[in-house]
Amino acid sequence: MKQSERKTAPGGETHQSADQAHAQLTTNHGIPISDNQNSLKSGERGPVLLEDFILREKIFHFDHERIPERIVHARGSAAHGYFELYESLSDITTADIFQRKGEKTPVFARFSTVAGGAGSVDTPRDVRGFAVKFYTQQGNWDLVGNNIPVFFIQDAIKFPDLIHAVKMEANSGYPQAASAHDTFWDFISLMPESTHMLMWAMSDRALPRSLRMMEGFGVHTFRLVNAKGKSTFVKFHWKPKLGLQSTVWDETLKLQAADNDYHRRDLYEAIESGKYPEWELGMQLFDQKTADSLPYDVLDATKLIPEEVVPVRIVGRMVLDRNPDNFFAETEQVAFLPSNVVPGIDFTNDPLLQGRLFSYMDTQKSRLGTTNFHQIPINAPKCPFANMQRDGMMQTQVPKGRANYEPNSLAEAGEEAGAREDKEAGFTSFRGRPENEEQGDKLRIRPESFADHYSQAKLFYESQTENEQAHIASAIVFELSKVELEHIAPRMLANLRHVSEDLASRVAKGLGLTLPEKSKTAAPVQELKPSPALSIQKNMKETLEGRCVGVLIADGTDASILDKLKKDITKAGADCQLVSTKINGITLSDKSKIKADGQLAGTPSQLFDAVAIVLSAEGTEMMSKEGAAVQWVMDAFGHLKAIGYTEESKSLLEKAHVEFDEGVVKVDDSFVKAASKRFFKREPSVRELP
């Protein structure tokens, strides 16, 4: 479609002009739809109204499309653990979980990919779900978020469209678990509000090294409410103890071939070995005055608040210390509901959050087949619970007495009369002051404060290192190169020019296209100060803790060098795995025999964070004739990892075309330090980046 044929709708989305012939968009009952972009709200920034039958029908149909697999986040890994509070937050919330310093609350956390089905792989470029169920003394609190702090859309009415676009194409059933295809980029290029999230999805954030090494976010702005009824806005953050770590694209592709369950196995084995994953819970706390002062709307889920603007206050930690006893009973059947909040935690009028509050319970009923899914052990509260609800499919409790309604006076007749409401301790929605309430005419419209779709995308891009910016450009080139419809890439480039002329030029060059005119914007693009906290590489920890080092050995390997290396790696908090052409009967220099952890052909170097080659002269000569060994070393170098070597093994590195930079060191005391990081300066010498 030509640039002149596009129009900008409220919220900045571009759509085809009305003069093109299209069927009338209607509900399933044939009622014409006037606006398919916005939920019906009370005022521009007010709450979404329950009477919105268009939203209800659309979400209802979407929630029931697949049984029993989750529509999104189908492939997941999970673990049990606990949350420990560092300090009392009684001044800002009545939530029981945040009252007593040092108190531990049981949790169940589930991590997942989004686009792929349950049978897909762990490591595609994708957003990762990060959901935590807290079993508090006031009932279950579910903090259901992602490893990215923003989202693709501003209004829940667009969620079915987003997921339909990114999922397998309807006519062919592929690609699985990938966004590099026509329908996704067609949708994204027509939805400028998605641009910020797109930057994150095309960055290394979508290629985590481990579930243990990624951040988590609640995405939306929530409220904390104290005993006096005062509200404080809050954004939730999970900070991994091991720091952030990603893979590089070529490594990711090879990981999919090497181990489809790479992340699942990594999480499970870390817990089994007693190296419990840990995250700290942080909060960005701010008031209405601060919210009003920001150049973006805190109710807009496509926006974040930089940590440099509102610091993250660390309030506790989550430790995962037990794997599920049964994958299906727990990981598959766990049902998270954003509407599960406890007194002292409340919602805002974020229209994406409002839609999620409605949608999740509906989809859990569809997936688990019963309104009694809360009785499944993994979903059941660990505190007493009671109400007047009875019967239903899969009812496993046996309520006693006649009382299945309230109020009742059966207790006066000596019968069990059931539970009663508690006006003091029960959940009460935040009422707010009249001047802060958002109300007005019933409208399908985006507020003007939601109209800026590019400033934060620009902020994110400018906050990255040069290397990370190159990765974003490379990712977009790869994805758009898979798009067959010729009009989509130029439209996307027209949008990217608002993010960065440098980025748009790199992508255009990579695709062999001429830069088009900039697309129209619904609001001016602002110059926001870069946020170093948004970069992985600027915040990496130089540590081997929680990592894994692969050591290539063979008959004749020096026993003393190998023994010291293993001790040094273990002391640094990493696992050491031995790799050879055979598993059993490897004879070392002192004539002792040992067993390898992995066979060379099935244990490629992409499974490790760093590698060492400890070979004798004879072993090196043998390995130099083994293509898998040469590739093992070549991949480690190409994936920017530290390589340790003995003098006798040097010729194997030369055959693998390894350049001896600062990351290629002899196996001595300097190796562990080198192995604690990646060497991104090496990248221009091993691959061409846009």
Q: What confidence tens digit (pLDDT) does each residue in 513-524 have?
A: 999 999 999 999
Instruction: Look at residue 217 and tell me whether its pLDDT is greater than 90.
Output: yes
Residue 146's SS3 state is strand
Q: Worst-scoring range by mean pLDDT, 206-215, 243-252, 412-421, 642-651?
A: 412-421
CATH of 53-150+217-375 given 2.40.50.140, 2.40.180.10, 1.10.10.10, 3.20.20.450:
2.40.180.10
Q: What is the dihedral of CA 85, 87, 92, 95, to 10 degrees?
A: 30
> What's the confidence (pLDDT) of residue 435?
43
Q: Say how many C-beta atoms besides its own lie within 10 A of residue 673's C-beta.
A: 13
The tokens describing 451, both together, are: 């109209």
List, as one string, the DSSP characters of 577-598.
Answer: EEEES-SS-EE-TTS-EE--SE
The Cα–Cα gap between 302 and 194 comes to 7
Burial class (CB in 10 A: 0-12, 13-18, 19+), 626: middle
**Secondary element (H or E) of residue 683:** helix 683-686
Phi, psi (degrees; rounded to nearest 5) at 503: -65, -50
Place 393 in a pLDDT band, splitting at 50, 70 and 90. Answer: confident
Active site residue 323: no
What digits encode the pLDDT tens for the residues 609-647? 999 999 999 999 999 999 999 999 999 999 999 999 999
Please report the pLDDT score of residue 6 as a whole number. 36
Active site residue 146: yes
Asked if pLDDT for residue 549 goes beyond 80, the answer is yes
Helix (H) or strand (E) holding 443: strand 442-444
Rounded distance between C-alpha atoms, residue 494 and residue 480, angstroms: 14
The pTM for the full model equals: 0.91
Contact (CB, 8 A) for 467 and 537? yes
CA distance 9 to 192: 11
Active-site pick, 38, 140, 146, 147: 146
Listed as own residue / partner, the contacts of 322-325 with beta carbons closer than 8 Å and 24 or more positions apart are: 322/79, 322/80, 322/81, 322/271, 323/79, 323/80, 323/268, 323/271, 323/272, 324/78, 324/79, 324/80
Distance from C-alpha of 159 to C-alpha of 168, rounded to nearest angstrom: 16
Element (H, E) at 133: strand 128-136
Banded pLDDT at 2 (limits 50, 70, 90): very low
Q: In this structure, are residues 71 and 64 in contact, taking their beta carbons and an 8 Å threshold?
A: no
Separation between Cα atoms, residue 472 and residue 35, nearest integer Å = 34
Could you tell me what percent of the chain has a pLDDT over 90?
79
Architecture of domain 544-686: 3-Layer(aba) Sandwich (3.40)
What pairs with residue 106 in β-bridges? 82
Concatenate the DSSP letters of all residues of 633-674 into one string.
HHHHHHTT--EEE-GGGHHHHHHTT----TTEEESSHHHHHH
* Active-site residue identified among 38, 73, 196, 323: 73
Q: At residue 86, does pLDDT exceed 90?
A: yes
Q: Are 653 and 620 in contact, with CB atoms under 8 Å apart?
A: no
CA 236, chain centre distance (Å)? 14
pLDDT confidence of residue 67: 55
pLDDT tens per residue, range 420-459 = 788 888 888 888 754 445 677 888 899 999 999 999 999 9
For residues 459 and 528, the answer to whether their CB atoms sit within 8 Å is yes
Going from N- to C-terminal start, the domains of the chain cover 53-150+217-375, 386-426, 544-686
CA distances from 299 to 36, 221, 272, 292, 444 (A): 20, 6, 41, 11, 16
Tens of pLDDT, residue by residue over 652-663, are 999 999 999 999
**pLDDT over threshold 50, residue 10:** no
pLDDT at 406 over 90: no
